[in-house]
Amino acid sequence: MMSKKVNVISLFFFYIVLMAMLLNYVEKVLIWQLGFLALFFITFLCSRRFRIALVDDIKEILILFVLISLSLFCANSNNAVFANLMGVVVPCIACLSLVAIMKTSKLNSEKLLVSCARIINCWWIINIITLLIQISGYPIFLKQKWIASSPMYEDLCCGLFGQNRTHELVFYSCLVYSCNMRLCEIHNRNENRKGARRLLIYTIVSEALMLIISTRNDNTAMFLFLPVFMLLRGVIKDYKKATDVIKKYFKYIIAFITIIVAIRLSLFVPSIKAVFEDYLYRRFYDMLNYNTVGVAGSNERLAIVEYALSIKESYFFGQGFGTEIFGEHIAHGFKHFGLSSIGSTIYIAGIWYYLMQLITYHKAFVCGMAQKSNNIIKALTFILIFALSVYSPIFISFSSMIFLTLYFVYI
């Protein structure tokens, strides 16, 4: 009986992982979602440990459903109820399920993670090869309907992650780093120093290659979030050591700041300045000064938040949970209304629902970590989730949420 339970849990675990990898490329979203719900209920019924672990998050789930119900009563129209429920509930349940699976058995959990690591790295290599071909100008594995509907070819260069999914490519890159660092730790624990060293070199080279690719597919967020996730993992893994390292290498930190200043001075060189202004400065300036430069593309993120907060209903239960789809593209004068979670969520379901989602995922990520976390680590994790909700539609992106959950699970 125990082996059957373990097999059901393993099947459910790998279905979630494969769904996250393939969902946006294969599409057929509803079929994937129904398959997920079926496996969830089977696992829930078959495994007592899974049920017990999942009950730990029941309070947050109930509060979310209460807020959704209250928001439904505020809606003038509920045409989008089903799409929104599936869009937010499935990623949430999947995230909590992964954390619950990790709690069921420490031994089986590590075996699952090691097996999953092989799949993660195979998919990583396949996507790097695909990306190299795509950025060379060959639209391999790009569906014709995607090309027809996307004005920028660079945005389509996402490997096999789907249409305009560069943000998920960022999260997957962070997952690969966390996954391989966990494998290095296992190799070192088993005194396989050579294997750990090879894996570390492979990880550094492949992540560096992804950064190079990111200069060609307009994925500037990779340069911000990948270092942040790397640093966060180091701090979480050994908080005391991280603080000691900061003290020990304080002079090198000063040197780094000096280099930044030197880079700033180098911008007086016209050719360097032109590259910097076009590739980085203009993007951040436009996002922070959307009122004066106009609202389009990346700088819509903050404009949508300002718009949502200018409406009194947003401070209660929003315009109504079923009013319109969270990931809607063109709405309320914006070309990318669902570009990030924070603005569309506050507008549709209200600020309290948005905050409760932050709290729910924060608790899940903290519980998913094998390492014990202090208040500073919890605060850093909360800030990160908030920042990601500003950057991308993580609350309605199944793939994003699973990649992020696995990142913390591998710590």
pLDDT tens by residue, 243-281? 766 666 666 767 776 776 666 555 555 655 565 555 555
Strand partners for 249: none
pLDDT confidence of residue 254: 74
**pLDDT by residue (tens digit) across 229-245?**
999 999 898 877 767 66
**Helix 48-55 / helix 29-46 crossing angle, nearest 10 deg:** 110
Q: How far is CA 247 from CA 242, 250, 372, in A?
A: 9, 5, 22
DSSP tag of 331: B
In tens, the pLDDT along 283-320 reads: 555 555 545 434 455 567 788 888 889 899 999 999 99
Tell me the residue ranges of DSSP E strands in 13-133. none
DSSP output for 30-53? HHHHHHHHHHHHHHHHH-HHHHHH
C-alpha R_g of the chain = 22
Q: Given a cut of 70, is residue 118 above it in pLDDT?
A: yes
Q: How far apart are CA 205 and CA 200, in angstroms?
A: 9
pLDDT band at 152 (very low <50, low <70, confident <90, very high): confident
- Out of 144-158, 198-212, 349-363, pick the least confident: 144-158
> b/e map of 395-404 (b: 16 or more CB within 10 Å)?
bbbbbbbbbb
Average pLDDT over residues 5-22: 90
Per mean pLDDT, which range of 154-163, 197-206, 259-268 is the poorest?
Answer: 259-268
Q: Round to whole Å and give the CA distance between 117 and 364.
A: 21
